[in-house]
Structure 1
Amino acid sequence: MTELKNLDLSQDANAQRVVKNETVSVEFAAAEGELMSLEGPNRYVRGDALITGSTGDRWVVSRERFDAKYLPEDTALAHGAPGAYRNRPAVVLAKQMNEAFSLARSAGGGDVLHGAAGDWIMQYAPGDYGVVQAARFAKVYRLAD
């Protein structure tokens, strides 16, 4: 398994610019804890968003990032209440890997994510990463214009 460090997809000729298009189900953490995603542990604190995607995958988004990246699907839903949310379209960098790999979720370390051959590394911002399984990537991402 390849351990990736100091990754910058903006400098990688094989990276693609993609946009996610998905409605997700969201709950907000009442206390600290850990959610085990398919790619590895996601630690969270009170108030963080616990997300279930349209493909059944689960992950955590910090409240600060969630508020900037998601909007209620129904305008009657107060932002911050549990329910259906849609991501704001944003271009991110993605690279499909040909071998199993691991990388820290953030540049400062923390949770370590794992991917299999065919999975995608996502770079949301400098030092901010995710891993998406190939089947899920095909369902919810498209190439950016």
Structure 2
Amino acid sequence: MRRLGLFGLVLTAGLWGSLGQSGSAAAVGICKCDSKTGFENACLPICKEANEKTSFFRPAVYFGNDPKVNADQTPLNGTSLKFLYLSHPTRRGMELFRRFLEDNRKKAEKEFHKMKAAYLRGHVGPEEFIEAEKLRDEAVVNYQHGMRAYLNTPSPR
């Protein structure tokens, strides 16, 4: 009985670790798919697929292992995720995408609260605080757009 409990604990830890934080950072990203940045590196095939049926550029979710995707930016800022495209996700990919959204929303909230504390102490001016508030608001709206896309995507088999 004791071995069975230990086996269950090891199995649970292994499954939890496979969906853990380190995997989510390398496995999911947002390809902006605009004319300037989207059609380079790993985003090229996904952006072509996302934009072939529309007359405008739309962002797409990248399910892969290229760490360069979103390495230099905050993924929930910079473009609207209203028309987000999810290409052929797996169950694991969908869960990693949900965690990706949650983690980046929390990160935006944390940065905003740091800036708010600095503003209340007089370390930054009102312009910087207003800019931080705009970035946080944009991240929250894009989080909601991403969650809508997540919930509206049929469950992969």
TM-score after normalising by structure 1: 0.29
Structure whose residues are more often strand by fraction: 1
Structure whose residues are more often helix by fraction: 2
TM-score after normalising by structure 2: 0.27
Q: Determine which structure has more spread, i.e. the larger CA radius of gyration.
A: 2
